[in-house]
Chain A
């Protein structure tokens, strides 16, 4: 299986009030194509920082991050932006969207901006609508972002992250602001994407969300202290409950 993301000795340090705060310490990590990896850990352990560092959204203090064969530290800001635009997708806990654009325009914005995309605007819009249809939000395309529910907005964010067919989607607590049913819907979409071949790295506090992933990393104080491999989840309720139980036991062993 091809490696999509690899880190070697990844470190991230912040200086706060003249004191050095080592948020990530020597992280070595490999994520292969088609994996769905959950990152868990207590608050302040460095989960989100890891996500931002590996996705090129934040600069690393030391170490290497190789995404799809490219070392991100060696890329210019422009090249990094291009990489994020064409090969990565992002989903945040808060459903950030451009307030002056409609839901559909928010979704197609990265595709319109991408130089890799040679479609006409109309074709892109149609593709955006198809994605929305797939995620069940095709009726709200023309709406302003304040006119849709949180669950619909998060699904729109997933559509935006998918619009350029990225190699990998990074999700930072994508269900953190949603109720259980919306959360399940969003996770099912991510699962479905993963089944179609998109690699997913997802930061979460929720064992039920992590139980749907094929691998779980456990971070404490900026270091990966545990890793649990699981089979690909095929979607059954019973299987999910079993996986969740298994994961909870493992997490308790890790000190969760």
Chain B
């Protein structure tokens, strides 16, 4: 600390006149004066050697220098700059999501450490300890509820933070790598939450983790059910899932494994990444918000710190109230011989579980999530639009924003379907329907023959890649969008007419698509419109002039995203199992 220390005041006589207890001061001698009032006591304390050795800088005089020193000289605060610009201070700019995520991480650490005092990670004890937390331990329910709800909240805030950073273009040069770190932290957050999900050792935990980890078994080469795994001699007791679970099924070994991952390994890794993340934020001038001449600057202490505090306090109130109102779930004790119906993964993985309906496990459970993660991490490197850094702007980056929000919406729609619309045997149940009511079994699926499906897929990708670049003319937007809409409806209608004409005559229709109702018609019209809008109109308008490698990478990601949507439509509306299938190499789409 560079502030020069004020001279000690012992020798100076008290400012307030005569001594208060003469005999005592005489006894102590040496001209000692007792402090005259609280103010003076405070001064004495602050100027004492002990205080000064702990808190540098002497009395707080609230000068700009003091306030700056408060940030620089404090190990907990020094990642902040001394002064911040108004634009980065604005709540509606950052929504405080990064800070709130970190605060939830801290709350989770505190509550997690407390829970560790009671929790024993063995099948015999874990469930009983949950019951003890609920029924016998003072505030046990409180810390468990808080931990559970903070974990869910953190998943949400981390995702919202990512969306915010995207929408403000804050991942662009020089912050590309910090975005990659952020994507890694998001993955770690999900993994942290997922490993903790097992620990209560009830039916919910056991089966959610069983469902969640089964995807690992579908990893190409390394999982026993994945493609090419026979090349490496993968069995259920030597593949990657076996390594993750410490056994062939979720059991005793998995519990201790997940416990260590949850309490030590992942938090430490995530903590290290967080430091890097924050350090980068600080080094990259704290906020991406663009500079303006004569911009007003505010001191971090108190302006930013107070906002951070307020956000943390209100979030804490939120999770406490949540914990008061709703108890963390605890079902029957884990029983590996009884599978509840349905068995659902934790909500943030239900999008993936829903994708497993439409694609083979290694595609839905391994390939797609990896493409999503890698695709997210690649965004700063393929987005070459220099505009829109540090502020929300649809005008300057319409393509990026539309695509990203569309992807997020698709993801959350999948999660919503998995959470609210899926019942026993993963049947489709509306949220208001009783799960006890039996649904008829799903209709049999059929596959498009490869001779038709192969060209169809090829055409989709070829046209999708080429068309936006080939149409060189600037399309009149106001005309093009309604036209596409009308064409989509027309296509749906003509398919309906073809179906009506042929359903009685061609056995194929009678067998595979006996019904073509209003639902299927609307599905076709809507999906066609969405696919043409996002797959042709947007790229044609905004990225047709991009350098070829970046254009190609972007379009591959876009077409794959839309392909997922198309496959969903084909399955939900027309029971199509595969469009193209090479079972020999496990390639079925």
Q: Report if A and B associate in a common complex.
A: no
Interface residues of B (CB under 8 A from A): none
